[in-house]
Structure 1
């Protein structure tokens, strides 16, 4: 071993010892409230990554889509086609609000989605429930932020993970959450005239 390699090994050994000491104090487990927000791409994609992780561990889970409607997506097609026994999938929206242009109908659909979400969260056999684009429904007042916060705080089973996605997450939801990630937009091909593409956006 060279002197440089020896210095590196010593440095990494110290880092490992410090890391192991920190990790030894992290023994609690709980169902997390996880928020993915921000203007950047990847909020739902990251959330579906966790859903597929649950599926891989044979953990029962569920998805409720609040806004995305009739458009086919790879995640939905795969789950419904291959994993519907492990993951319940409910597409409750009819498209983005600028497409439907019908606030009363959008509100009705979002309220139905929220009712389904509560049912799935209260079912303790579901280890994770993804509420896809619920932040958008809250932002447009289709669903009350206060109702969501109160329900998650007071009624979510202790070991159930709930993931909430969408831009402009409400401040009270961010305060309640255990884990919040804000996706930052640096570059996006849409700005260069590139349309949404299969396998990337859907």
Structure 2
């Protein structure tokens, strides 16, 4: 392997600063985490968008959240077909091994992945329909959500589809037998959130009203 290069200098500088301050001030805590393993109470499934930083939103410390990030924060339906399923494997580990009490799916405003799904499904991005498009095939997960809101005008469809991404993921989580069993046994609760990045606001899905309500 001759393609890997040393870290850029600015990242090395940031690491050295963290090691000399945050780590040094909390060395005992980091060593405890390392020696005693992780025991997070919640799993968070979020978008890999660099603008959404879930640990900052909730003021979380190391060891609090088991976090999985992917494009648009989607969960595919249960499909044990022998393929490589990174998200499904992460959900399985969180529920069956870590025994998390909560799974939180959080979407966000101006999501590029969701916009890609909207463009693909409305015929504006034919390149995403190619079988060779990893992004397109991933965003196929959100097609059921698009079909629910496809009648909306362009300006309203994007935000609605961002929230559909959360709902589709929650629905797909319940197709996993171990998730359903934990939920029905009241050992696990599922939560759906949507974050407006610019406003810093957070909304949660409210099942009785079938709508997202401000927190």
Is TM > 0.5 for Structure 1 vs Structure 2? no
Larger RCO (CA within 8 A; separation ≥ 6): 1
